[in-house]
Amino acid sequence: MGRARLRQQLDFFIHSPRVEVGLVILILTSAVLVVADVLWVGQGRPNVVLMLAELPLRMCFFIELFVRFAIARKKKRFFRHYWLDIIAILPIPPQLTLFRLLPLLRLPRAAILINHNLHYLSPQVSGVYSAQISALLMIVLIMLFGGLAFYIIEGTSNPDIQNLGDALWYSFFSLISAEPIGAYPQTHAGRVITLVVVLAGLTLFAVFTGLISALMVKRLQSVMNIKNFDLDELRNHIILCGWNRSAPLVLQELQSDQQTRHAPIVIVVELEQLPLNELRSVDQNRLYFHQGDYTRIDVLEKVQIYHASRAILLADSSQPRSDQDRDARTVLAALTIEKLNPSIYTCAQLLDRHNDVQLQAAGVEDVVVADEMAGHLIANAVRNQGAMDVFAELITVQVGNQFYRLPLPAPLASQPFWQVQSYLKNKYDALLIAVERRTDGRRQTYVNPPADYPLQLGDYIVMIARQCPQWS
């Protein structure tokens, strides 16, 4: 149990935004040191200082990859994803000058990390220009690798290459024109490097054509395609299982809340393609689509259920099934999800309240019976005419006040309900309505408790506010 806990903590640490941004900075610093190393070698200067400066970077990269290997559930998948990074940190003998360019092979990893954390820096740029940023970094990688390698091989023998700048320009022009421009290789190794740069230029030209076309289509059309690709790097994401008419509204509400606005959402459903006409009001930049049966363990593992923070199980109507079969699939999926990831929060939608017993036994935190909830709302509206305006505002995060559930701050512990309510109203303009407490491992919710009801450390409080209070 302690080893699993340690693995989970290491996983959260290595995939945290601060660590990943720090790795990007270290990778870019390593690339700068490679350029400086080639300059010093070309001028015949000693490079002991650069070697000493590069040593702590290699140690950091070694520790990073060792941690990733230790927490990887499937070692073959680790080597499949990180073989290039492993080659980049291999020890290099000083006499093998050309192999000193190996640290540049980590630049694609920097592009991946930048794309993962771009939404923290600029949500507007994330998703729209992430592909362009990746392509730009690939251009920089190929230009640097080609220019530095050509300078090392032919810097002393080719009359057209007088310095490193000439080699970099030669690499750049050959890359964008798909033919050698500015110099002609004199050695066989130089010809091989030129061939690699030219072939990369042909490929990148096609990539850029596709990116520009895709960007123009995206600007002209209001509907965007949902991403469907490798999900291995997702962490703390939301998994939405199943599809029905309420799914677009669920996605819209999640993207309107400040806490879940930037969280990646993976939609798992048996449909070949999502109904994009129903997602016009949803920001699709952070949506991922995976076709499959969400009751199967292998499908849940592919969408990284071990690293997800929330799971939503909708009463799936994507396939013709009876209500009993839909609830049975929901219960089966909930049992599987809670078994694979006991720490995940799960919310399930049922069609029949009688199936709630199995979900409670599985550890599902919240169960919503849609028809039952609709019946209660209609009856309440009839009994309290005009109350639907209040309900409509409270159950959406897009307008006015909303419900917020937060842990009780330590300074408010042992104080009576009315005193905490008065404090929250004066301090945060929030209205306290309920207290949640765990008794003998079971959750108990007390709505509008007596005024002298004492609150305890570890309680959760439910309040109504215009925005989520931020405890000092």
The bridge status of strand 431-439 relative to strand 287-291 is: unpaired
Q: Is residue 192 part of a domain?
A: yes
231-267 burial by CB neighbour count: b if 16+ within 10 A, else e? beebbebbbbbbbbeebbebbbbbbeeeebeebbbbb
Token pair belonging to 221: 């059309």
Residues 128 and 45 in one domain: yes
Same domain, 174 and 322: no
CB 394 within 8 A of CB 402: yes
In a domain, 19, yes or no: no
Task: Give how many domains the chain has, as a whole number.
Answer: 3
Residues 216 and 360 in one domain: no
pLDDT tens digit sequence for 317-337: 888 888 888 888 998 999 999
* Last residue within a domain, chosen from 159, 190, 220: 220
Read off the CATH number of the domain in which 299 is found. Answer: 3.40.50.720
The residue-averaged pLDDT of 108-123 equals 68
Report residue 225's pLDDT band, with 50, 70 and 90 as the boundaries: very low
Average pLDDT taken over every residue of the chain: 80
Task: Show which of 190, 220, 250 is a domain's final residue.
Answer: 220
Residue 16 within any structural domain of the chain? no
Q: Is the pLDDT of residue 364 over 90?
A: no
458 belongs to a structural domain: yes
Tell me which of 220, 246, 266 is where a domain ends.
220
Per-residue HEC secondary structure of 30-62 comes to: HHHHHHHHHHHHHCCCCCHHHHHHHHHHHHHHH
Shared-domain flag, residues 245 and 128: no
Q: Give the pLDDT score at 228.
A: 47
Q: For residue range 282-296, what is the model confidence (pLDDT) as tens digits?
A: 877 778 888 889 999
Q: Please tell me whether residues 369 and 409 are part of one structural domain.
A: no
Q: Is residue 432 domain-shared with residue 326, that is, in the same domain?
A: no
Question: Does residue 168 share a domain with residue 201?
Answer: yes
Q: Say if residue 26's pLDDT is above 80.
A: yes
- Which residue would you say has higher pLDDT here, 453 or 163? 453
Indicate if 216 and 106 belong to the same structural domain: yes
CATH number for the domain harbouring residue 446: 3.30.70.1450
383 in a structural domain: no
For residue 126, what pLDDT is reported? 47
User: Confidence band (pLDDT; 50, 70, 90) for 109?
Assistant: confident
304 C-beta neighbours (distance < 10 Å), count: 19
pLDDT at 42: 52
Residue 232 lies in a domain: no
What is the distance between the alpha carbons of residues 31 and 360, in angstroms, rounded to a whole number? 53
Q: Report yes or no on 68 lying in a domain.
A: no
Q: Are residues 162 and 261 in the same domain?
A: no
Cα 256 vs. chain centroid, distance in angstroms? Answer: 17
Q: Which two tokens stand for residue 242?
A: 């199943």
Determine the structural domain holding residue 346 and report its residue range: 238-373
- Rounded mean pLDDT of 334-346? 90
Residue 50 has pLDDT above 90, yes or no: no
Query: How far is residue 152's CA from residue 166's CA, in Å, rounded to a whole number?
Result: 12
Instruction: Report yes or no: 348 and 330 within 8 Å, Cβ to Cβ.
Output: yes
pTM: 0.61
pLDDT for residue 202? 75
Average of per-residue pLDDT across 403-422: 89
Question: Within this chain, do residues 33 and 179 fall inside the same structural domain, yes or no?
Answer: yes
**Angle, helices 164-177/17-42, rounded to nearest 10 degrees:** 120
Confidence of residue 300 (pLDDT cuts 50, 70, 90): very high
> Which has more confidence, 134 or 420?
420
Statement to judge: residues 158 and 195 lie in one domain: yes
User: So what's the pLDDT on residue 223?
Assistant: 37
| 197 assigned to some structural domain | yes
Residues 248 and 196 reside in one and the same domain: no
Contact 352, 336 (CB under 8 A): no
More confident residue, 187 or 229: 187
